[in-house]
């Protein structure tokens, strides 16, 4: 499976939900970096799932979590 590298940041309280959504779509969490404000994630996800994940993450974070390539 070809996956696209992505990054995003979330709060500590959102981390488990973000990881669950990524896994449900067949993606991988490559790296987690804990910061004073939350967690920065390096992800890999199939191109066809990116829009779906972005919508799910926006819904669970009230629009704060943005995927970046």
4 in Cβ contact with 47 (< 8 Å): yes
Q: What is the pLDDT of residue 44?
A: 98
pLDDT per residue as tens digits for the range 18-68: 999 999 999 999 999 999 999 999 999 999 999 999 999 999 999 999 999
Q: What is the pLDDT of residue 26?
A: 98
pTM of the model: 0.95
Strand partners for 40? 9, 33
Q: Above 80 in pLDDT, residue 1? A: no
* Helix (H) or strand (E) run with residue 49 in it: none
Q: Given the structure tokens 């309280």, which residue do they identify?
A: 13
- Which DSSP state fits 68? B
56 half-sphere exposure, CB direction, 13 A CA radius: 15
């Amino acid at each position: 499976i070809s996956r696209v590298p992505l990054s995003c940041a979330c709060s500590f309280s959102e981390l488990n939900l973000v990881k669950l959504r990524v896994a449900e779509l067949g993606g991988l969490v490559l790296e987690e970096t804990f910061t004073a404000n939350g967690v920065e994630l390096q992800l890999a996800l199939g191109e066809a799932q990116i829009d779906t994940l972005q919508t799910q993450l926006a819904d669970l974070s009230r629009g704060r979590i943005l995927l970046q390539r």
